A and B are shown apart, each in its own frame.
Chain A
Amino acid sequence: MLETSSTAAIGLHGLVKSYGETPVIPGLDAELRGGEFTVILGPSGCGKSTLLNCIAGLERLSAGRITIGGREVQEEEPKNRRLAMVFQNYALYPHMTVAENIGYALKVAGVNKTERAARVAEAARVVELGDYLDRRPGQLSGGQRQRVAIARAVVREPQVLLYDEPLSNLDAKLRHDMRRELAELHRRIGATSVFVTHDQVEAMTLADRIMVLNKGRIEQFDTPEAIYHRPASTFVAGFIGSPAMNLVDVTGEGGVLRLADGTALAAHSHRGPAILGIRPELVVPAPDGLPVQITYREELGAHAVLTLRLPDGTALRMATALGQRGGLPTDLRVALPAAELHLFDPLTGKALASATPATQTKKAQHDHVPS
């Protein structure tokens, strides 16, 4: 019954939202494909919740158009947009039982009692809510409340499901479980989903495509794989990945990228100033590499994160290989494999097209730099 096959794409065309003089979203175009799970990711204040509220119809646009399933909806009431929303603090009605909470939208819409009961039971089954229909939200745990909130959304058989940071009030273990369940739920009901979060792990694990927002602009809108391996800007590079990608100012000349003091860092054909990016896990020890000093060591169990100091004082993070135990030599030398380097424009922060590394090279090829 809830298995909706009609999936609706969401189109955002020249979307502008400002509060008074300050534009929160200065103009945004994107196409969210039907049935896809899109995660809107960004730091707080980047406009991601505003964007979601605009799609939901809770905020009026300052300019632009929104289409859902090809239909323009920016002037429609939220209830006519065929969407449902899950809120961060669940937003359950505290005085109603679980069943009443789930069925309230149907009641408002005038669905008769028998059909309502059947659909509530079906929605509760879909989210595996169990025997809690007669309880009140106050008697449920955080995870159960979240399920009720999701059931309340899916019971209306929406074309679009909107999630506003729905997992951030849960503890770490529960968040992990709910993440898996949300992914399964999405597979089952297939509605176009838009999920707002500031948590990159949620974004990476749930998304078909991630929209990285910064100050109301799209930095990159691509698959998790591409976002991680081909960041379009220093913002994306620094935001995704934990620990974050190293970003070092370099100058390229004669096939070598050098630090400000002239130390050769890596081999690359780029000429002129650039920002070099490399993931900490791709910095590798090499007997003939750069001599570095270990200034800080974070032990994470499966691996360790080291903060290194390069000869000129620049800090560089390095993650040791998974499962590797024991100390590293005190006279550590490291190399930055040329295939794993990202280069960004020092002025705009955008990725330099020529410098995109080959994505297939997961294992570092040890192209060492003559030092």
Chain B
Amino acid sequence: MIENTSSIDRVAGAILIAGLLFVLTPLAFVVITATQSYEDFLRNNFSLIPGSHFLENFREVWSRTDLPRQTLNSIIVGGIVATGRVALAVTTSYAVVFFTGRGRGFVYALVVASIMLPLELMIITAYQVTANVALPLNVVANLGGWWGALFGGPLDLQWNLLDTYAGISIPLMAQGSCTMILVQFFRTIPPQLARAAIVDGVGPLRFLWDILLPLSKGPLTALGIYMFISAWIQYMWPLVAASSPARTMAVVGLTRLQEDGERIPDFPLQMTGAILVTLPPLILIALFQRRIVRGLTLSEK
């Protein structure tokens, strides 16, 4: 801007600093607490003076809890969910934007509507279906008892996916926000590109693979990372879907670090665990920061 903006700059700076303090103070508190021993903590309660027990705490979290295993679980589930969501979004958006078919607007509306129906709302049904994937089939087959009449007994197939990676991940994949964002990006791609490809003799799959996907690399990476993180911080569904500590995800495992309720919780240990659980997404963001920002602006040249 040409006008003198130093006063605006000062105010903006002050607001930024206030915001940073607001966000970082609790984090500082987490880090400081993680450096104290349980005994220190019992003696001094919460303190703002850093201790020197971080490595001991970390070693304890690493060797004596399920958290490392659960962090790996989170990485696996996050990876499956992110890949699944992005793959579904690519195929759906491709169909919605580049093909003229009957009912595609309706399908798109349904997908977008799914954003307003988070998994938490359907958690009981989702649990029932995950506990037995064949349940919907059973219900349909036994409607009015026709299966029983034909085969002498009700259909009762069983396929339990609870406590498996698939059982945790697949219900989390069904979410439309990814599709909505990708549809917006695909709409910025000139339709003549598709026409040129058709004249060049390119089929629909080859167009997707040779042209659309390479063009969408930036947005797809950004979306994938968002979706990984949004799966990472899921709590409710992983809590319900995974019962054994070996399959539980890290965020859920974190809350279980201290469950006996008898003694005063080992907050230093929990804070150390929190740091461990925060690290993988943090590293991911640090590595791909520029791609995320560029992907957000949805401009790919």
Contacts and interface: CB of A to CB of B under 8 A. Distances in A.
Given A108-B202, A108-B206, A87 B196 contact: yes
Given A87-B195, A108-B200, A95 B215 contact: yes
Given A87-B192, A108-B206, A93 B199 contact: no
Given A91-B190, A94-B215, A58 B195 contact: yes
Interface residues of A, number: 24
B301 A94 contact: yes
Interface stretch (A78-86, A176-184, A300-308, A310-318): A78-86
Nearest to B213: A95
Contact of B195 (A83, A85, A108): A85
Contacts of B211: 93, 95
A78 B198 contact: yes
A95 B215 CA distance: 6
B192 A91 contact: yes
* Interface residues of B, dominant DSSP: helix
Given A94-B300, A94-B301, A56 B190 contact: no
B206 A58 contact: no
A117 B278 CA distance: 51
Nearest to B203: A108
Nearest to B198: A78
A328 interface: no
B201 A79 contact: yes
Q: What is the size category of the interface that chain B forms with chain A? A: 10 to 19
Contact of A88 (B192, B198, B200, B215): B192
A257 to B, nearest CB: 49
Nearest to B193: A91
Given A91-B192, A94-B300, A108-B206, A85 B199 contact: yes
A141 to B, nearest CB: 15
Interface string B191-231: 01101111111100010001100110000000000000000
A58 B199 contact: yes
Contacts of A53: 195
Contacts of B206: 108
Contacts of B300: 94
A195 interface: no
A153 to B, nearest CB: 8
A105 interface: yes
B201 A109 contact: yes
A109 B206 CA distance: 12
A272 interface: no
A89 interface: yes
Contacts of A95: 211, 214-215
A78 B199 contact: yes
A56 B199 contact: yes
A179 B294 CA distance: 38
Interface string B275-301: 000000000000000000000000011
Specify which of A53, A89, A91, A92 lies most central, judged by the most chain B CB atoms within 10 Å of its CB. A91
A138 interface: yes
Interface in B146-185: none
Contacts of B195: 53, 56, 58, 85, 87, 91
A104 interface: yes
B58 to A, nearest CB: 44
B199 A84 contact: yes
Given A78-B201, A88-B192, A104-B202, 6 more contacts: A56-B199, A58-B199, A77-B201, A79-B200, A104-B200, A104-B210
The 8 A-B pairs at the shortest CB distance, nearest first, are namely A79-B201, A91-B192, A105-B200, A91-B196, A87-B192, A95-B214, A85-B199, A78-B199
Interface of B: 190, 192-193, 195-202, 206, 210-211, 214-215, 300-301
Interface of A: 53, 56-58, 77-79, 83-85, 87-89, 91-95, 104-105, 108-109, 138, 152
